[in-house]
Structure 1
Amino acid sequence: MTIAPDDARQDSRHYQAMRDVIEQIQDSVPGKLEISKEGIVHDMMSPGRPHELTALHVRKRLERVMPDEITAHTGTPDVEVEPEGIMRHPDVMVIAMEDMEGQGSFDPRTLIAAIEVVSLSNPDNDWVGKMRDYPLLGIPVYVIFDPRTGSGAVLSDIHPTPNGPRYATRKDFQYGEDVTIADWTIPTDKLPRYA
């Protein structure tokens, strides 16, 4: 489908309006706000201890095996591609430190991998929405850790489909198995589970 210039301007204005709303209310609402292809996504609950502890374990385990110039970043800013109308915030971003320099959101194409810990309150955001959005943003590896089930998946090899770019390869894992994220392998034992 071709978007006429007027439609493109409308889409840009619509996206900027959503960005403005998020900036105005983010500090006053619980949880996390992002923009997907379908609109604003609100994960109503702030991440709990098992979620945050999983992200911390994954970050530390990766940083033990990665070179010093690569980091597993768990902070801000977001990754964003305004023309696609998407702004996401991975729980862990594997990125070269030099690609973190500058102002504004990170360019998602500079990420080596995006890692999500499935939210108890909105698991479809990670298993459906981000599985659709991350290949569209050009993030080459997407890893999901699911404390609900003690399992996860590594998605890679972006390829074109009639519905847009998708990951062609999916490798499922169970907690306790080693998992390879891009070029680095880490253990998944003793990761917390949701009670």
Structure 2
Amino acid sequence: MTIAPSGKDVAGHAYRTMREFVRSMDDTLPGKFEITKEGIVHDMMSPTGPHELTALRIRKRLEKVMPEELVAHTGTPDVEDLPEGIMRHPDVMVIAEADMEIQGAFDPRTLIAAVEIVSRSNPDNDWVGKMRDYPLVGVPVYVIFDPRTGSGAVMTDIHATPQGPRYATRKDFVYGEPVTIAEWTIPTDNLPRYT
């Protein structure tokens, strides 16, 4: 008698294999690795000055207006949902400091918001892949800043669709306009652009 693994077992094994590969490559190759529903995404370029400066300014602006128990975190670890087989690393994570007191990756459902600064080398990762993955793993607010165009969008209101959970509301903005992330409004002036 042969016992074949169920579809879930095969998917779980594939995810564990991809996770081990990503962890083994972290300090070996430049750039950032993430795991999506489609497989491994490798943004081969390390973040540039405008990307990092945008993340820093957003973090500082959010922390000025949020309660002290919340942080706009820009470091590690990743955000991981084992059942969905997704591991992402938001550029800025709005999260309660108490929810950071864990070992290993953050549970995406503890995030208040995920903020991404679009990569010059792989914009579809932020505009397509993460737009699909973040509602799937329960991130309630997803914000994109795009230094290529000086614009962005705030996605909220997760709802069910035939393709899976998706954001129902999208509010576009241009740099210079105030933007509301969850409950907090910050300015978007003086954010760098890619040249």
TM-score in same-fold range (> 0.5): yes
Q: Which segments of 5 or more consecutive residues in structure 1 lack a partner in the other structure?
A: none
Q: Map Cα deviations across residues 3-60 of structure 1 (whole Å, 9 max, x no partner).
A: x961111111100000010111111111000000000000010000000000000000
Q: How does 1:1-195 map to 2 (within 5 A)?
A: 6-195=6-195
Identity of aligned residues (%): 74
Q: Which segments of 5 or more consecutive residues in structure 2 lack a partner in the other structure?
A: none
Q: Map Cα deviations across residues 140-195 of structure 1 (whole Å, 9 max, x no partner).
A: 00000000000000000000000000000000000000000000000000100000
Check 1:44–1:98 CA distance in 2 against 1; reply closer, same or farther (3 A cut).
same
Whole-angstrom distance in 2 between the partners of 1:96 and 1:24? 29
**SS in structure 2 opposite 1:29?**
coil
Whole-angstrom distance in 2 between the partners of 1:23 and 1:107? 18
Whole-angstrom distance in 1 between the partners of 2:183 and 2:83? 30
**SS in structure 1 opposite 2:90?**
coil
**SS in structure 2 opposite 1:189?**
coil
Whole-angstrom distance in 2 between the partners of 1:25 and 1:110? 27
- Alpha-carbon shift at residue 102 of structure 1 (Å): 1.3
Comparing 121-130 with 4-13, which one deviates more in the overlay? Answer: 4-13
- Greater helix content: 1
Q: Map Cα deviations across residues 83-102 of structure 1 (whole Å, 9 max, x no partner).
A: 10100000000000000001
**SS in structure 2 opposite 1:23?**
helix
Whole-angstrom distance in 2 between the partners of 1:155 and 1:6? 35
- Structure 1 stretches of at least 4 aligned residues deviating more than 6 Å after TM superposition: none
**SS in structure 2 opposite 1:41?**
strand
